Amino acid sequence: GQQVMQIPQYQHVQEGEDFTTYCNSSTTLSNIQWYKQRPGGHPVFLIQLVKSGEVKKQKRLTFQFGEAKKNSSLHITATQTTDVGTYFCAGRPVSSGSARQLTFGSGTQLTVLP
Partner 1 sequence: NAGVTQTPKFRILKIGQSMTLQCTQDMNHNYMYWYRQDPGMGLKLIYYSVGAGITDKGEVPNGYNVSRSTTEDFPLRLELAAPSQTSVYFCASSYSTGTSGGSYEQYFGPGTRLTVT
CB of 11 to partner 1, least distance (A): 14
Measured distance CA(92)–CA(104) in Å, rounded: 9
CA distances 66 to 17, 40, 53, 74, Å, are 24, 31, 5, 12
Residues 2-61 that bind partner 1 (CB under 8 A): 6, 9, 30-31, 33, 35, 41-45, 48, 50
Asked if 9 and 77 touch (Cβ cutoff 8 Å), the reply is no
Task: Quote the least distance from Cβ 43 to partner 1, whole Å.
Answer: 5
- Which positions lie near partner 1, rule CB under 8 A? 1, 6, 9, 30-31, 33, 35, 41-45, 48, 50, 88, 90, 92, 96, 98-107, 109
